[in-house]
Amino acid sequence: MIAFLKRHIFQILALAGAALVFELMGRGVTFLLFLGSLVLLVASVYIPIGIFRGMTLVLALTSFFVAIFMTQSIWLVLLVLVLFYWLFRGPNGNEFLVWGESLLHPFGGSKEAYHGVKLIQPQSGQRTLIKRESLIASMESKTNYYEWDDINIVFLGGSSIVDLGNTLLPPEQSTIVIRKLFGRTRLIIPRDVGFRLNISAISGAVVFENQSYSLVGENFRWETAGYAATPRRLNIMVSVGFGEVEVIVL
C-alpha cells in the first residue's frame, strides 16, 4: 500500500489541487478575491523596492490565503501534503527533501545510481545523421559509451555517481555536458588530467576540495593550473535545477 501511494502521490496531489481550483471557480466572490491576489502578486514584481511594494505583497498574500482557506478542498490538499511528508520520512529526515532515490525507486531502499563513462573513437563513416537513444535506458545502464565529440548526459533526478576515472581520454580537449532536474550528483575525475568546471544551479551547492559553495541562480567556475597546456583535458559543464554536485578527484 505504501509503495502504491509513493508511486501515485503526485497524481493524488494533482487531483486535490484540481478540486480546489474547481471549487474556487464555483464561488464568485472567493474566485474574484483569488484572482485579485494573483494580480497584486504580479504587480508587486514591477513596483520598486520599498514600503509600497511590501504592503502590496502582504495584501496579495493575505488575499490569496483567505481565498483558498474559504474553500473546503484546501483541507484535502493539506491532508495529501501531510500524507506526502509521512510517506517519504526516513531516519535522516524526509527522503524527498534531501533528494534521495525514494521517489525513483519506491520499492527499494536508498540507492545511488552508478554511471561509468567510456569514450570511444567516432565512427564517422558509419554514423547516421540522427541517432535516437532512450534516456530511460541510458539512466539504467551501469556503463555508457560515448564518442569523443558527443558526450551529453541527461538525468531526471535522484542520487547519481558519474565516474570518469576508468576511461582513456583522447588527446586535447573532451567536453562533457550533464543536465539534471534534481538530486545529488557525484563526479569522479582522474587526477592526471586537466579539467575545467562550469556548474550552474537554480538552487543547490558545489562540494569541491572539502569546501561547500552555495549556488542560487549562479555559476561555479574552476580550472586546473596550466589547463590549456595539459595534453588531455576535460571541459565539464553541469546544469542542475535543485541539488548538490560533489567533485571528487582521484
pLDDT tens profile 76-131: 999 998 988 887 776 655 555 544 444 344 444 445 566 655 554 544 444 444 44
Question: How far is 140 from 100, CA to CA, in rounded Å?
Answer: 16
Specify the pLDDT at position 98: 46
Residue 144, pLDDT above cutoff 70: no
Q: Are residues 86 and 172 in the same domain?
A: no
Question: How far is 108 from 111, CA to CA, in rounded Å?
Answer: 8
Instruction: Determine, yes or no, domain membership for 33.
Output: yes
Q: Which residue has the higher pLDDT, 105 or 190?
A: 190
Q: Are residues 76 and 117 in the same domain?
A: no
With cut-offs at 50, 70 and 90, classify the pLDDT of residue 31. very high
Q: Are residues 80 and 149 in the same domain?
A: no
Q: What percent of the chain has pLDDT over 70?
A: 74
Give me the mean pLDDT over the 234-249 stretch. 91
Residue 41, pLDDT above cutoff 80: yes
Instruction: Determine, yes or no, domain membership for 57.
Output: yes
Mean pLDDT computed over every residue of the chain: 78
Contact (Cβ atoms closer than 8 angstroms) between residue 147 and residue 195: no
Instruction: Determine, yes or no, domain membership for 101.
Output: no
Range of the domain at 21: 2-94
Cβ-in-10-Å burial (0-12, 13-18, 19+) of 242 comes to middle
Q: Are residues 62 and 150 in the same domain?
A: no
Strand 172-182 with 160-163, pairing: unpaired
Q: Are residues 56 and 158 in the same domain?
A: no
Question: How far is 78 from 65, CA to CA, in rounded Å?
Answer: 13
Instruction: Determine, yes or no, domain membership for 213.
Output: yes
Instruction: Determine, yes or no, domain membership for 103.
Output: no
Q: Are residues 76 and 118 in the same domain?
A: no
Q: Are residues 245 and 155 in the same domain?
A: yes
Instruction: Determine, yes or no, domain membership for 108.
Output: no
* 154-186 pLDDT per residue, tens: 887 778 888 877 666 778 888 888 898 888 888
Instruction: Determine, yes or no, domain membership for 159.
Output: yes
The pTM assigned to this predicted structure is 0.50
Residue 148, pLDDT above cutoff 60: no
Q: Are residues 151 and 241 in the same domain?
A: yes
Q: Are residues 203 and 150 in the same domain?
A: yes
Our count of domains for the chain comes to 2
Instruction: Determine, yes or no, domain membership for 128.
Output: no
